Amino acid sequence: MVSATPERLRDDAASLFREPGLPESFAFFEELSPLNQRLFAVELWGALSRVSISQNEQALAEFVELVEGWEATAELDAAPEVKELLARPKRYRAV
């Protein structure tokens, strides 16, 4: 999924909040739904803060995992068949 090193990913995430335009490692951002774009930005900021404060390998690994999860979400958001399935009325069993 994510092709950048963890350190590069962290630096790209920081530039996302400082500079206009999307770094290549976050190109999936545009595939996210508007709601997911907002949620991603909030989670990314929190994870980036934890990585910057703690500066340990565990925080960096969790940061990469978060980005990979959002990249997978972007793939689902971009898939028309998934949108169709989610838009269908739900039928729940009686309990």
Helix (H) or strand (E) holding 37: helix 34-54
Question: C-alpha 22: how far from its chain's center?
Answer: 13
In a domain, 19, yes or no: yes
In a domain, 36, yes or no: yes
Range of the domain at 82: 6-87
The structure's pTM equals 0.77
In a domain, 95, yes or no: no
Model confidence pLDDT, tens digit, residues 4-49: 788 888 888 888 888 888 888 899 999 999 999 999 999 999 999 8
In a domain, 56, yes or no: yes
Share of the chain above pLDDT 90, in %: 38
CA separation, residue 86 to residues 34, 43, 81, 93 (Å): 16, 23, 9, 18
Q: What's the number of domains the chain is made of? A: 1
Would you state the pLDDT for residue 1? 61
